[in-house]
Amino acid sequence: MIVGGLPARQGRWPWVVSLQLTWNRNHVCGATLVHPQWMVTAAHCVNGPDLSKASEWRALFWQKGTSNEIDVIVQHPGFVNGDNYPNDIALLRLTEPADVTGFDLRHACLPKREEWMKQWEKCWIMGWGDSKGDITSELKELEVKVRENSECSARWGWKRILNSHVCAGDGGRGACNGDSGGPLICRQDGYHFLAGITSWGVGGCQTTGYPSVFTRVAFYTDWIQDIISAYANR
């Protein structure tokens, strides 16, 4: 559960996905649909001998109430599982393209590489995690302020915050356990962009002054599009 968040209204976030283990159907991480057949999540969500197997996962489309299997997982080759989690991004392919022609399932827009310093109108985070470490079935959302990296570095240490990170929130409210991989969605000119992927933060989830840290998606838009193109005929 997003700490300090409110229940998300049905129809508001049609690209949000719950990543669940196939054997128990428990929510593990969030993801975002960015293409009819591809989702983006955090690489640390699918890291490990078992978790990196596509057959272990299914995608539950929150608003539509339907699920789809996954047949491909691609972690960023530069991902490091530890400390500041550089390149914490992965792509997952659905076995079949999702129908995104209706209002209950859409894909979010990808920001352009040159827009990594963009000042967004408004931003929100959302997820199913819980501040006590449990998982709730209720999607929560929270409007957050994106912080300058210099401000974030002053809290976390300049060596930990990279240009490929984006920080948001005030530490007292924000992402928690189970929210990893979920989106930082920002609105601009009537469109909703996937600006960030929930990556890491302070232990305990609620420490005022320490913003949540996200993977800055604009840094990886070219990589995302290259992977999607490379698998187009596979």
Q: Which residues of 176-210 are buried (b: 16+ CB within 10 A; e: fewer)?
A: bbbbbbbbbbbebeeebbbbbbbbbbbeebeeeeb
Active site residues: 44, 88, 180
Q: In whole angstroms, what is the distance from residue 104 CA to residue 158 CA?
A: 41
Tell me the three-class secondary structure of 122-145, residue by residue.
EEEEEECCCCCCCCCCCCEEEEEC
What string of DSSP letters covers 140-171?
EEEEEPEEPHHHHHHHH-TTT--TTEEEES-S
Q: In whole angstroms, what is the distance from residue 228 CA to residue 134 CA?
A: 34
Amino acid at 40: V
Q: In whole angstroms, what is the distance from residue 56 CA to residue 100 CA?
A: 24
